[in-house]
């Protein structure tokens, strides 16, 4: 692999999904379609991700041109939806297994935890 200086190093990243953080704090996610010598970027199927606390929402923006001097961070998104959903499923299974082990351990000691739907009775 040959190293290319400056924005030429991004040529291999064309047509891949990227996240870009702008100087004004906005976060964009889209497919990098073009780049020039000034690091101006063209994104396709772009969404603007807005974070409020732990929640976020995506606003479709379509084709988006970003002036190079406004880019703070640019990174490729490598995880596919299928991979992240599988990871989420495995994480949920592990959490359920841990909770089941806790309940079993408490029952073995003669204790019980009220279920969430029975909390009103207590």
Strands lying side by side in the sheet with 41-52: 55-66, 41-52, 27-35, 17-22, 71-76
- What is the per-residue pLDDT for 77? 85
CATH number (domain holding residue 41):
2.30.30.100
Residue 112, Cβ density class (10 Å: 0-12 exposed, 13-18 middle, ≥19 buried): exposed
Decide: pTM greater than 0.95.
no
Question: Are 44 and 11 spatial neighbours (Cβ–Cβ below 8 Å)?
Answer: no
Q: What is the pLDDT along the chain (122 residues), one digit of tens a residue?
A: 677 777 777 888 899 999 999 999 999 999 999 999 898 999 999 999 999 998 999 999 999 999 999 999 999 887 777 888 888 999 999 999 999 999 888 888 888 776 655 545 54
- What is the per-residue pLDDT for 107? 87
If you search the block for the tokens 């702008």, which residue do you land on? 22
Say yes or no: 63 and 18 in one domain. Answer: yes
Say yes or no: 102 and 51 in one domain. Answer: no
Say yes or no: 102 and 63 in one domain. Answer: no
């Amino acid at each position: 692999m040959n190293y290319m200086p400056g924005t030429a190093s991004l040529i291999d990243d064309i047509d891949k999904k990227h996240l870009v953080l702008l100087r004004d704090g906005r976060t964009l996610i889209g497919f990098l379609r073009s780049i020039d010598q000034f690091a101006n970027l063209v994104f396709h199927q772009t969404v603007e991700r807005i974070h409020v606390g732990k929640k976020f929402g995506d606003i479709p923006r379509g084709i988006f041109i970003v002036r190079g001097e406004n880019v703070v961070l640019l990174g490729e998104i490598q995880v596919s939806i299928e991979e992240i959903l599988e990871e989420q499923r495995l994480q949920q299974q592990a959490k359920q297994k841990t909770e089941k082990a806790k309940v079993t351990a408490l029952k073995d000691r003669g204790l019980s935890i009220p279920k969430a739907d029975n909390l009103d009775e207590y």
